[in-house]
Amino acid sequence: MADTTETEEIVQLKLLINEESNKVVFAEAGKDFVDILCSFLTLPLGTIARLSRKDSNIGPVSVGCLNSLYQSVVDLDKGYLWTDSIKEMLLQPKNSSEDYCSSIKLNIDDTQPT
C-alpha cells in the first residue's frame, strides 16, 4: 500500500471579539475562508446527514428530522427501489459543485468524484 501524506493548509481568520458578551464584533478573512464557507452551501442534504453521523467528535449530531430520513433510507430494503443504484444515489449524492469544491483548501465532502 502506498504511503499517503496529508499536507496541512493554513487558512487565515482574524476576529475581534467583545469579551463581555463573548460575541464576534468583526471578522476579517481571505478568499480561502470565504470559499470554504460557500462550499458548505453546495453540500447535498444526504452528505450533510452522513458526515454529521460519521465524523462528529462529540457523537452523532442531530440535524432535525434529516437524520431520521437518512436512517430510513439506510434501512430500506433494495426491493422497494427500481434499481440497486438508486439507494446508493440517495445515500451518497453527488455534489453539483464538485469541481469548485475540490480546489479549496478544506474539503469535508468524502464523496468520490465522478
pLDDT digits (tens, 9 = 90+) for 56-69: 666 666 777 777 88
Mean pLDDT in residue range 49-78? 76
CB burial of residue 24 (10 Å; 0-12, 13-18, 19+): exposed
Tell me the CB-side half-sphere exposure of residue 112, using CA atoms within 13 A: 4
| Structure-block grid coordinates of residue 51 | 458526515
- Residue-range domain boundaries for the chain: 13-102
- Which of helix, strand or coil describes residue 23? strand
Amino acid at 49: A
- Over residues 89-93, the mean pLDDT reads 81
Residue 20: the pLDDT is 96
What does each C-alpha distance from 62 to 26, 53, 70 come to in angstroms? 29, 8, 11
